[in-house]
Amino acid sequence: MKFFADTSNIDDIKDLDGLGLLDGVTTNPSIIAKSGREFIPLIEEICKIVTGPVSAEVAATDYETMIKEGEKLAGLADNIAVKVPLTEAGLRVCKALSDNGTMVNVTLCFTSGQALLAAKAGATFISPFVGRLDDLCQSGMELIEDIVGIYDNYGFETEVLVASVRNPMHIIDSARIGADVVTCPPSVIKQLYNHPLTDKGLAAFVEDWKKTGQSIL
Protein backbone atom coordinates (compact mmCIF):
# COMPACT_ATOMS: atom_id res chain seq x y z
CA MET A 1 0.00 0.00 0.00
CA LYS A 2 1.33 3.45 -0.87
CA PHE A 3 1.10 6.35 1.63
CA PHE A 4 0.59 9.81 0.16
CA ALA A 5 0.67 12.93 2.37
CA ASP A 6 -2.47 15.03 1.93
CA THR A 7 -0.75 18.33 2.68
CA SER A 8 1.42 21.10 1.24
CA ASN A 9 3.34 21.59 4.50
CA ILE A 10 7.00 21.20 3.55
CA ASP A 11 8.18 20.28 7.07
CA ASP A 12 5.54 17.57 7.44
CA ILE A 13 6.40 16.20 3.98
CA LYS A 14 10.13 16.07 4.82
CA ASP A 15 9.37 14.44 8.21
CA LEU A 16 7.31 11.65 6.64
CA ASP A 17 9.91 11.19 3.91
CA GLY A 18 12.59 10.78 6.59
CA LEU A 19 10.53 7.96 8.13
CA GLY A 20 10.37 6.16 4.78
CA LEU A 21 6.59 6.60 4.81
CA LEU A 22 6.18 8.99 1.86
CA ASP A 23 5.22 7.62 -1.55
CA GLY A 24 3.62 10.79 -2.89
CA VAL A 25 1.71 13.99 -2.06
CA THR A 26 -1.79 15.22 -2.82
CA THR A 27 -2.97 18.81 -2.64
CA ASN A 28 -6.25 20.54 -3.46
CA PRO A 29 -7.33 24.21 -3.69
CA SER A 30 -8.37 24.25 -0.01
CA ILE A 31 -4.99 22.87 1.10
CA ILE A 32 -3.20 25.48 -1.06
CA ALA A 33 -5.38 28.31 0.30
CA LYS A 34 -4.59 27.16 3.86
CA SER A 35 -0.83 27.26 3.12
CA GLY A 36 -0.95 30.99 2.36
CA ARG A 37 1.73 30.41 -0.31
CA GLU A 38 1.88 30.97 -4.08
CA PHE A 39 0.58 27.79 -5.78
CA ILE A 40 3.08 27.20 -8.59
CA PRO A 41 6.32 27.80 -6.61
CA LEU A 42 4.97 25.66 -3.75
CA ILE A 43 4.17 22.74 -6.09
CA GLU A 44 7.62 23.11 -7.72
CA GLU A 45 9.25 22.97 -4.26
CA ILE A 46 7.27 19.85 -3.31
CA CYS A 47 8.18 18.14 -6.61
CA LYS A 48 11.88 18.67 -5.85
CA ILE A 49 11.52 16.93 -2.46
CA VAL A 50 9.15 14.09 -3.44
CA THR A 51 10.09 11.45 -6.03
CA GLY A 52 6.57 9.96 -6.15
CA PRO A 53 3.44 11.50 -7.72
CA VAL A 54 2.48 15.03 -6.60
CA SER A 55 -1.18 15.90 -7.26
CA ALA A 56 -1.85 19.52 -8.24
CA GLU A 57 -5.48 20.43 -8.94
CA VAL A 58 -6.85 22.64 -11.71
CA ALA A 59 -8.91 25.61 -10.52
CA ALA A 60 -11.26 26.06 -13.49
CA THR A 61 -14.42 24.03 -14.10
CA ASP A 62 -14.77 24.47 -17.89
CA TYR A 63 -13.01 22.15 -20.34
CA GLU A 64 -11.09 24.82 -22.28
CA THR A 65 -9.56 26.43 -19.21
CA MET A 66 -9.01 23.17 -17.34
CA ILE A 67 -7.03 21.70 -20.22
CA LYS A 68 -4.77 24.79 -20.36
CA GLU A 69 -4.26 24.71 -16.58
CA GLY A 70 -3.65 20.95 -16.67
CA GLU A 71 -1.02 21.25 -19.40
CA LYS A 72 0.71 24.05 -17.47
CA LEU A 73 0.72 22.01 -14.24
CA ALA A 74 1.94 18.88 -16.06
CA GLY A 75 4.87 20.90 -17.40
CA LEU A 76 6.10 21.83 -13.91
CA ALA A 77 7.72 18.43 -13.20
CA ASP A 78 7.77 14.83 -14.42
CA ASN A 79 6.05 13.57 -11.25
CA ILE A 80 3.01 15.85 -11.45
CA ALA A 81 -0.41 14.18 -11.38
CA VAL A 82 -2.97 16.68 -12.62
CA LYS A 83 -6.05 16.61 -10.38
CA VAL A 84 -9.43 17.15 -12.03
CA PRO A 85 -12.95 17.02 -10.54
CA LEU A 86 -15.27 14.13 -11.39
CA THR A 87 -17.49 16.07 -13.78
CA GLU A 88 -18.15 15.56 -17.50
CA ALA A 89 -15.70 18.34 -18.34
CA GLY A 90 -13.19 16.96 -15.82
CA LEU A 91 -13.33 13.50 -17.39
CA ARG A 92 -12.91 14.97 -20.88
CA VAL A 93 -9.73 16.65 -19.59
CA CYS A 94 -8.70 13.36 -17.95
CA LYS A 95 -9.02 11.52 -21.29
CA ALA A 96 -7.11 14.20 -23.21
CA LEU A 97 -4.25 14.47 -20.69
CA SER A 98 -3.92 10.73 -20.06
CA ASP A 99 -3.90 10.06 -23.81
CA ASN A 100 -0.86 12.36 -23.91
CA GLY A 101 0.88 10.41 -21.13
CA THR A 102 0.11 12.79 -18.25
CA MET A 103 -0.77 11.28 -14.87
CA VAL A 104 -4.32 12.28 -13.86
CA ASN A 105 -5.90 12.02 -10.41
CA VAL A 106 -9.71 12.25 -10.64
CA THR A 107 -11.01 13.70 -7.38
CA LEU A 108 -14.30 14.30 -5.55
CA CYS A 109 -15.51 10.76 -6.24
CA PHE A 110 -18.52 9.58 -4.17
CA THR A 111 -20.02 6.65 -6.13
CA SER A 112 -18.87 3.49 -7.89
CA GLY A 113 -20.50 4.78 -11.07
CA GLN A 114 -18.29 7.85 -10.98
CA ALA A 115 -15.25 5.63 -10.39
CA LEU A 116 -16.19 3.45 -13.39
CA LEU A 117 -16.32 6.52 -15.63
CA ALA A 118 -12.93 7.72 -14.36
CA ALA A 119 -11.28 4.36 -15.11
CA LYS A 120 -12.73 4.38 -18.63
CA ALA A 121 -11.39 7.94 -19.08
CA GLY A 122 -7.89 6.64 -18.37
CA ALA A 123 -7.42 8.05 -14.87
CA THR A 124 -4.12 7.15 -13.20
CA PHE A 125 -5.75 7.55 -9.78
CA ILE A 126 -9.35 7.75 -8.54
CA SER A 127 -9.90 9.61 -5.23
CA PRO A 128 -13.05 8.49 -3.39
CA PHE A 129 -13.62 10.75 -0.33
CA VAL A 130 -14.38 8.31 2.50
CA GLY A 131 -14.45 10.79 5.40
CA ARG A 132 -16.99 13.05 3.75
CA LEU A 133 -19.29 10.06 3.09
CA ASP A 134 -18.91 8.85 6.70
CA ASP A 135 -19.90 12.37 7.81
CA LEU A 136 -23.27 11.75 6.07
CA CYS A 137 -23.68 8.26 7.61
CA GLN A 138 -22.85 6.64 4.26
CA SER A 139 -20.08 4.03 4.44
CA GLY A 140 -16.92 5.31 2.76
CA MET A 141 -15.30 1.91 3.15
CA GLU A 142 -18.19 0.13 1.40
CA LEU A 143 -17.56 2.44 -1.55
CA ILE A 144 -13.86 1.51 -1.56
CA GLU A 145 -14.72 -2.21 -1.43
CA ASP A 146 -17.16 -1.76 -4.34
CA ILE A 147 -14.69 0.17 -6.51
CA VAL A 148 -11.81 -2.27 -5.88
CA GLY A 149 -14.13 -5.16 -6.84
CA ILE A 150 -15.37 -3.46 -10.02
CA TYR A 151 -11.83 -2.51 -11.09
CA ASP A 152 -10.63 -6.07 -10.46
CA ASN A 153 -13.51 -7.47 -12.56
CA TYR A 154 -12.25 -5.62 -15.65
CA GLY A 155 -8.53 -5.28 -14.98
CA PHE A 156 -8.67 -1.49 -14.87
CA GLU A 157 -5.19 -0.06 -14.19
CA THR A 158 -6.55 3.02 -12.42
CA GLU A 159 -5.22 3.02 -8.83
CA VAL A 160 -7.73 3.44 -5.98
CA LEU A 161 -6.39 6.37 -3.94
CA VAL A 162 -8.44 6.53 -0.72
CA ALA A 163 -8.89 10.19 0.23
CA SER A 164 -10.59 12.23 2.95
CA VAL A 165 -8.96 9.87 5.45
CA ARG A 166 -9.74 10.95 9.02
CA ASN A 167 -8.34 8.17 11.25
CA PRO A 168 -5.98 5.14 11.29
CA MET A 169 -8.90 2.70 10.85
CA HIS A 170 -9.52 4.20 7.40
CA ILE A 171 -5.93 3.20 6.55
CA ILE A 172 -6.22 -0.31 8.00
CA ASP A 173 -9.62 -0.98 6.41
CA SER A 174 -8.33 0.31 3.05
CA ALA A 175 -5.38 -2.11 3.33
CA ARG A 176 -7.72 -5.00 4.20
CA ILE A 177 -9.76 -4.22 1.08
CA GLY A 178 -6.64 -3.90 -1.09
CA ALA A 179 -6.80 -0.22 -2.07
CA ASP A 180 -3.60 0.89 -3.82
CA VAL A 181 -3.00 4.18 -2.00
CA VAL A 182 -4.20 6.17 0.99
CA THR A 183 -3.66 9.92 1.15
CA CYS A 184 -3.77 11.29 4.67
CA PRO A 185 -2.77 14.15 6.90
CA PRO A 186 0.71 13.04 8.11
CA SER A 187 -0.57 13.04 11.71
CA VAL A 188 -3.03 10.23 10.86
CA ILE A 189 -0.25 8.09 9.38
CA LYS A 190 1.84 8.63 12.52
CA GLN A 191 -1.07 7.53 14.72
CA LEU A 192 -0.42 4.01 13.35
CA TYR A 193 2.62 3.86 15.67
CA ASN A 194 0.57 4.30 18.82
CA HIS A 195 -0.54 1.67 21.36
CA PRO A 196 -0.57 2.07 25.18
CA LEU A 197 0.60 -1.53 25.67
CA THR A 198 3.67 -0.81 23.53
CA ASP A 199 4.49 2.20 25.73
CA LYS A 200 3.81 0.23 28.92
CA GLY A 201 5.84 -2.76 27.77
CA LEU A 202 8.81 -0.61 26.75
CA ALA A 203 8.78 1.22 30.09
CA ALA A 204 8.90 -2.15 31.87
CA PHE A 205 11.80 -3.35 29.66
CA VAL A 206 13.74 -0.13 30.40
CA GLU A 207 13.07 -0.43 34.14
CA ASP A 208 14.09 -4.10 34.26
CA TRP A 209 17.21 -3.48 32.16
CA LYS A 210 18.31 -0.75 34.60
CA LYS A 211 18.12 -3.36 37.41
CA THR A 212 20.72 -5.49 35.63
CA GLY A 213 23.28 -2.69 36.01
CA GLN A 214 24.64 -3.74 32.62
CA SER A 215 25.44 -1.75 29.48
CA ILE A 216 25.47 -3.03 25.91
CA LEU A 217 28.12 -0.50 24.78
User: Can 68 be counted among the known catalytic residues?
Assistant: no
Window of 13-21, 63-71, 128-136, 199-207 that interacts with ligand G3P by CB under 6 A = 128-136
Q: Which is nearer to ligand G3P, 118 or 201 (CB)?
A: 118
Q: Which is nearer to ligand G3P, 64 or 142 (CB)?
A: 142
The sign of the CA dihedral 101, 97, 56, 39 is: positive
**Among residue numbers 9 through 48, which ones bind ligand G3P (CB under 6 A)?**
26, 28
Q: Please report whether residue 183 would count as binding ligand G3P according to CB under 6 A.
A: yes
Is 84 strand, coil or helix?
Answer: strand
How many chain residues interact with ligand G3P (CB under 6 A)?
A: 9
Q: What b-and-e string marks burial along 163-192, b requiring 16 or more CB atoms within 10 Å of the CB?
A: bbbeebebbebbeebebbbbbbbbebbbee
Window of 14-22, 68-76, 125-133, 197-205 that interacts with ligand G3P by CB under 6 A = 125-133
The only residue of 4, 5, 6, 148 in contact with ligand G3P, by rule CB under 6 A: 6
Cα angle value 203/18/55 (rounded, 5°): 130
The only residue of 3, 129, 151, 156 in contact with ligand G3P, by rule CB under 6 A: 129
CB closest to ligand G3P, residue no = 164
CA distance 192 to 108: 26
Calculate the CA 8 to chain-centre distance: 12
Q: Which value, in Å, is the radius of gyration of the alpha carbons in the chain?
A: 20
Name the residue among 77, 57, 87, 80 with its Cα closest to residue 69.
57
The only residue of 163, 181, 182, 189 in contact with ligand G3P, by rule CB under 6 A: 163
Binding site for ligand G3P (CB under 6 A): 6, 26, 28, 129, 131-132, 163-164, 183
